[in-house]
Amino acid sequence: MKYRADIDGLRAVAVILVILFHSKITFFPGGYIGVDIFFAISGFLITSIIYPKMQAGNFSFVDFYKRRARRLLPASIAMTFVTLIVFAFMYPPNLFQVLADSAVASLLFSSNFYFWQTSSYFNPSLALQPLLHTWSLSVEEQFYFLFPLSLVILSWLKFKKNAILLTVGAACSISLALAYLYAPNNLSFVSFYVLPTRFYEMGLGALFAIHLTHKPDAFKTIKYLREIGLVLVAISAFQYDKHLAFPSFYAVLPVLGTLLILIDRSTSGVLYRVLCSRPVVFVGLLSYSLYLWHWPIWVAFEWIVGDMSVINIAAYFVLTFVAAYCSYRFIEQPFRQPTFYQGAFKRTGMVGVAALLVACISFFVSQSNTRLLPITENNLSEYSAALVSEPFRDKCTDTKRLKGQYSVCVVKEGVNPEYSILLWGDSHASALMSALNNFSDRFAVHAMNTSGCPSLVETKRKGSQDCYDHNKFMQAYLLDQTNHYDLILDVSAWDNYIEYELLETDISQAEEMHAALQRTIEFFEANNLKYAFVPQIPKHETNVPRAFFRYQLGLNKSDEFVLRSDYDLKLKRFEEMLYPSKNMIALDSFFCENDKCGGTKNGEIMYKDAHHISVSAGKSMSYYLEGEIVNAIEGSSSTLEVSGVLEASGE
């Protein structure tokens, strides 16, 4: 295929969109469509190269894969190796272990599967994974392996042009249907990561390439294709955002826009001249290395600097382009030349580099990086203790999602228990099980939790029908006369649902939360159910264990904390939403001292992230919480702790 400078210009557009999006520059909220532009280009170009050779009978799998390997692997391997070494000296073991595992997956072209399996509600640390961006490279590699093989099989079966077009078109239709049916939601991101739901993006490019192979002038008479294509890409970049259930059918717009630009063979017009200009083409030539290096460098900046000021972002851009140029000039260019691999010395060197990388990854996968960290063993143990998964997580949380049916589980049996408690809530309730599990034997504790679902009557979370179903199940369960409890402990991340606008409603989020709490109180009281709500504990701006670790490395100036006055405002808001009910057990006395609500207490990390308590904190608070619950069951006024706190603070 003849070289086209405008395609390199289009690559420049794609990679700049991705970099700006990952840099959190909101001018292009849909900048992630740059990946979809790359997918469309790949499908079009690869098919334009291999399909004519297949038709002529001179296509070679060996030659094709050798070219792909020389083009893609050296720079990718170098980036992976450098990333592992750099982060080994500054990442905590849990984050680094994911990095080491993802490095293996990346080299095996399966990181998309790895991150799909790793990504979930319980793992927000993926945003700090330096190899996260390799998922798209794995999707492309899988396409490069399977699609040429499929075309060869179709040719071997004597399929003609129209039959091949029909077959590829049917595959694109199935892929699009799967992408729509399995659109990402709070339960699964499978369609975001895997080839079957992404195939249509590359497959549409293949369809155009096959058609143009037989009819090169098919679209020659149609004007302004390039301009229309740019408009479609621009609409996607400006109008899409990270909350979209992508790709679904939304990726059609940027993919179609890209293909319209690709099939316009005219060599005139302002847009053509811009795409073919030297600066734009230069960025396009660097696009692969830019994509490889931009994300690990960004993650390193966020980890080391934290606050990405204008100066820091400028420094990030400079370093990214310098790294990309060096990668292009000294790795991409030399290694893609067949002559580079001639000679025993160079071949031996390549084997040595590969062996070194394998040895490095093997060591890190088996040993992690604890020996390389400049942090004391006690502090490292304290950090690790904060990340321990709460007991009964698998048994008592997300039972419908994991096991196919809702069920109430037993957290604690008790010995001739005096009190029985039912814990109803979301992941914040699950975190609290570490406290309830350590109650004395006079308690029996049951639980029913679904992460991300507010424990409220007749309330829906946006895009999550299962939250509504979860609460309907709980209503029916509590109405069953055989299920008697001395107290229903209702625990959820109340503030999160309001602040992140997660509730499905036609009124404001705060108004909907108020109405939902009142509906729930009415349900409890109408059915003579004793209850107590637990307000959300202080929510921090950043991951508390991570802030602790960074503080030990000297990267944070102080320990993480929330101002007591800010937290009291949220407590007051919640108390007003419950009024006239006063059935509330506040935990501020445990988490807050003087004017601060700290992330640590007596040297112990109180959180496992920014807003869930750690298991060790749960154990520490169990005696305090047990007393509060006894008071709530027996009707003591001490359950009105918040009112006293707010009055004392003058609120």
Q: Nearest 10 degrees: CA dihedral of 642, 648, 649, 651? A: 70
527 touches 479 (CB < 8 A): yes
* Residue 160 shares a structural domain with residue 302: yes
Output the pLDDT for position 2. Answer: 82
* Residue 241 shares a structural domain with residue 130: yes
**Which residue(s) pair with 420 in the sheet?**
444
Q: Give the pLDDT mean for 55-83.
A: 90
Closest Cα to residue 299, out of 96, 122, 37?
96
Q: Give the pLDDT mean for 280-308.
A: 93
DSSP 341: G
Average pLDDT, the chain: 89
Last residue of a domain, one of 253, 280, 307: 307
320 touches 293 (CB < 8 A): yes
Q: Give the pLDDT mean for 173-200.
A: 90
* Residue 396 shares a structural domain with residue 295: no
Residue 636 above 80 pLDDT?
Answer: no
* Residue 131 shares a structural domain with residue 266: yes
More confident site: 512 or 649: 512
Output the pLDDT for position 404. Answer: 85
* Residue 24 shares a structural domain with residue 169: yes
Q: Give CA–CA dist 354/362, Å, rounded.
A: 12
Q: Which of 97-111, 340-354, 389-403 holds the top average pLDDT?
A: 97-111
The CATH number that applies at residue 508 is 3.40.50.300
* Residue 300 shares a structural domain with residue 397: no
C-alpha 227: how far from its chain's center?
A: 34
Q: Nearest 10 degrees: CA dihedral of 434, 440, 444, 446? A: -10
Residue 625 above 60 pLDDT?
Answer: yes
Q: How far is CA 403 from CA 366, 467, 596, in A?
A: 32, 16, 41
Domain assignment present for 379: no
Output the pLDDT for position 262. Answer: 96
Domain assignment present for 224: yes
Output the pLDDT for position 121. Answer: 35
pLDDT digits (tens, 9 = 90+) for 208-253: 999 999 999 889 889 899 999 999 999 999 999 988 889 999 999 9
Domain assignment present for 317: no
Residue 632 above 60 pLDDT?
Answer: yes
Q: Give the pLDDT mean for 612-631.
A: 92
* Residue 283 shares a structural domain with residue 427: no
* Residue 241 shares a structural domain with residue 115: yes
Residue 345 above 80 pLDDT?
Answer: no
Domain holding 224, by residue range, is 5-69+111-119+126-307
Classify each residue of 451-465 as buried b or exposed e, where b means 16 or more C-beta atoms within 10 Å of its C-beta.
bbbbbbbebbbeebe
Output the pLDDT for position 124. Answer: 56
Output the pLDDT for position 650. Answer: 35
Last residue of a domain, one of 245, 276, 307: 307
Residue 364 above 70 pLDDT?
Answer: yes
More confident site: 14 or 649: 14
* Residue 294 shares a structural domain with residue 419: no
Q: Give CA–CA dist 439/391, Å, rounded.
A: 14
Q: With bands split at pLDDT 50, 70 and 90, how would you rate the model's confidence at 343? A: low
Output the pLDDT for position 251. Answer: 96
Output the pLDDT for position 646. Answer: 38
Number of domains present in the structure of the chain: 2
Output the pLDDT for position 87. Answer: 94
* Residue 477 shares a structural domain with residue 626: yes
* Residue 302 shares a structural domain with residue 394: no
Domain assignment present for 100: no
334 touches 340 (CB < 8 A): yes
Q: Give the pLDDT mean for 568-578.
A: 95
Last residue of a domain, one of 307, 333, 355: 307
Output the pLDDT for position 350. Answer: 64
CA atoms within 13 A on the CB side of 534: 25
pLDDT digits (tens, 9 = 90+) for 469-505: 999 999 999 999 888 899 999 999 999 999 999 999 9
Closest Cα to residue 369, out of 145, 92, 648?
92
Q: Give the pLDDT mean for 435-459.
A: 93
